[in-house]
Structure 1
């Protein structure tokens, strides 16, 4: 095993505050991939993070039991009164993770996702009906008035949140910033989750919270009250922001690739493959969540030590020429099964809502393109405003003309 400081220092470094990384991270990570299978991300406040850049190595790393999503990976600055509700399933491993995941996946079976397609379509159509009324000087912000509210409504339905309360959960996500605003948003989310649990305890429905309460009634050790509340707020949060940005990113990608848009309009049956390709080409998350090394070991030739932070670079692995032909090209006819893309993760922490998210995206994009055949970007693609961030591709607005 490599253990010398020289070996550690020979690994290329990427400063995450470098303007090129902030503004053009996909290109920066792609260049890093061709230099080395592993790099060191230098992140203010986090120190050095090992980052696996290539597809095969990322796939192996995401299933490596020597790396764990430990409790230390959630924010230790969280106030004590809400800290018990911060240990989410995403930060668990082993038996506890498996126990909760087994309960949560009930809401995301193929049957239950298919049963919600009609609800998703009706929600989509309602938002599309309202879009012209949001136009200002002929321009509509599709992120604000379509891509963001749709996932909020859908995940609210899945969780059993009353329709009138769902905009509150969208506001909680929007308030997630820093300092007091961050803490207050979390407190409100936890309080809201407790209200949902109390409501569904009295009025069960066809939703995940009711399922979890039924499981708890059958055997109290299957899920605690704290775990239940935690799962509610975290699932609602996870089901909103990234999917909203994926839908928005996909619209930009299609409108800036007219040949792909034409192919999709000509054959709507391509939509499932298009969604998969769009997630490969422009995922909302560019890096995975941090894993922590449980022991010293060698990873891609680098000497990882116990306690070190490790991520996979989704953006570079999804465009690795070793597994994807012409990887920088958006091709919605790319043969299915070429290789797994990591937009939904991989391994034990693969997104439990991936199938629902894919259906949401398929319905949203299909209905949008059908309703507005003249849909176009109101600004050049490179001028669509994006939050400079080395870890995500999140827009701040999506100006379009209908």
Structure 2
């Protein structure tokens, strides 16, 4: 017999103070309390929270779970909610709702297929020398700033500028335009915090992308915007301008945020686990495996909500069609049913692509290869350049900060010598 909403445990607030203060412990309590719970975000729309590895993987890979609620009968009307909560006009909501990660079925296969022709593994691999060059330049700046023992904030000096610069160069955002894009990204990655500015920021961002697309039509370059303009299927299908704008918008805004916090969290984790740091320093060929293990432990706490097209049993609970289901990535990635001693950083662990940090299934993160490459290059170079790297403040002063679904620190002050 399966559980129902009537006998489920007390609802969980995903932004509760105890979860933010110590996400690993709070998620572990949730996971061991029940595989599937009820919850919300700050008392908002009720949802089902799935906590254990096999159940979360099922939600991510089972085609009965849809990313787009509009394709599921009885699912919540997120479009109206977004317009009301974020004060956005209809045409701008389209750019938030019709992203690659939020469409399903044939529409998703079509768009992903077109994008994959432009965002290729070869294009990402060709970026590696440039990633190394940008990394070296940023490390030079850090060395200058911290040469007399002055603490350097890793977030502002390294973790933000590296992935942001890389994604802008990949996409084709000119250097002169990057300052406004950085500001737009800060606003768009925390939309509820910038509700009043959001319509103007969205409009400026969209208008800029439309102009960039027109420029690439006239004068193509070796960048992703040009490749997206040129890509074409055998039957003549092309990306629409709105699809291109939405894709570039998603890549630039979200494409550096995850990598930024992967880098910062990884440095903190390695400093807290000097035995593991010693292993990769002794054998740099272990960095790719180490990065996957570090990604298993964060920064992603939850994925995008899903909506079942029919009643589905998950973790002993029958979830009704149309309900909102939140796959909780961090408790799944630290589930002792899947990993031995799961909260311990172990760079020898054979996680490969089994962890859920980049998702699974049809919506597996398109930018995962780039994020892994950047983290490998950046972490290797950072610890090689500064062998005496250490925290400049007591560990208890480095606190997790409030950001829905992401484990992150606001600052990470380090001494380089």
What TM-score do the two structures reach when normalised by structure 2? 0.89
**Conservation of the 8 A alpha-carbon contact between 2:8 and 2:38:** no
Deviation at 1:348, TM superposition (A): 1.1
Aligned partner (choices 267, 271, 278) of residue 255 of structure 1: 271
Residue number among 110, 116, 131 corresponding to 2:142 in the alignment: 131
Q: Does 1:387 align with 2:401?
A: yes
| Aligned-partner Cα distance in 2 for 1:175–1:43 | 20
| Alignment pair present for 1:353 and 2:367 | yes
SS in 1 for 2:307: strand
Alignment of 1:33-52 (within 5 A): 33-44=31-42, 46-52=44-50
Q: Deviations over 1:166-216 (max 9, x none)?
A: 232222112233312233322222122223212211221222211211125
Structure 1 stretch displaced more, 191-200 or 319-328: 191-200
Cα pair 2:293 2:351 within 8 Å, conserved:
no
Between 1:52-61 and 1:292-301, the stretch displaced more is: 292-301
2:319 equivalent among 304, 317, 321: 304
Gaps of 5+ in 1: none
Q: Summarize the alignment of residues 54-203 of structure 1 with structure 2, pairs less than 5 Å apart.
A: 54-70=52-68, 71=70, 72-73=77-78, 75-77=82-84, 78-86=88-96, 87-135=98-146, 138-176=150-188, 177-203=193-219
- Deviations for 1:216-250, whole angstroms, at most 9, x for unmatched residues? 59866431111111111111112111111111111
Structure 1 CA distance, aligned partners of 2:90 and 2:351?
Answer: 47
SS at match of 1:41: strand
Query: Match for 1:32 among 18, 24, 30?
Result: 30
Task: Determine which of 290, 293, 302 is the counterpart of 1:287.
Answer: 302
Tell me the TM-score normalized by structure 1.
0.92
Deviations 1:20-50 (A, max 9, x none): 1121122111121122111112323533211
Residue equivalent to 2:348: 333
Please tell me whether the aligned partners of residues 128 and 368 of structure 1 are also in contact (alpha carbons under 8 angstroms): yes
Shift of 1:297: 2.8
**RMSD value over aligned CA atoms?**
2.2
Q: Is the 8 A contact 1:21 1:390 kept in 2?
A: no
Residue 322 of structure 1 pairs with residue 329 of structure 2: no
CA deviation map 1:72-108 (0-9, x unaligned): 5563333234223222111100111111111222344
1 CA distance for matches of 2:203 and 2:256?
18
Work out the CA distance in 2 between the residues paired with 1:101 and 1:259: 41
CA distance, structure 2, for counterparts of residue 16 and residue 323 of structure 1 = 23
Paired residues of 1:30 and 1:315 also in contact (CA < 8 A): no
Gaps of 5+ in 2: 71-76
Asked if 1 retains the 8 angstrom alpha-carbon contact of 2:2 and 2:318, the reply is yes
2-structure distance, mates of 1:391, 1:4: 26
- Counterpart CA distance in 2 for 1:265 and 1:108 is 32
Partners of 2:140 and 2:205 in 1: CA distance: 30
Deviates more, 1:71-80 or 1:344-353: 71-80
SS in 2 for 1:168: helix
Structure 2 CA distance for partners of 1:63 and 1:32, relative to 1, 3 Å: same
SS in 1 for 2:62: coil
1:255 and 1:242 map into 2 onto residues whose CA distance is 20
Which residue of the other structure, out of 204, 208, 212, is the alignment partner of 2:224? 208
Q: Cα deviations across residues 326-366 of structure 1 (Å, max 9, x unaligned)?
A: 111101111354x7111111111110110111000001111
* Cα distance in 2 for residues equivalent to 1:336 and 1:343: 11
How many positions carry a matched residue from both structures? Answer: 398
Q: Which stretch of the first structure deviates more once superposed, 225-234 or 289-298?
A: 289-298
1:288 to partner: Cα distance:
0.7
1:76 is paired with a residue whose SS is helix
| In structure 2, distance between residues paired with 1:73 and 1:346 | 23
Partner Cα distance (2:390, 2:348) in 1: 22
CA 1:322–1:120 in structure 2 vs 1: closer, same or farther (change >3 Å)?
same
For 2:273 and 2:179, how far apart are their aligned partners in 1?
Answer: 33
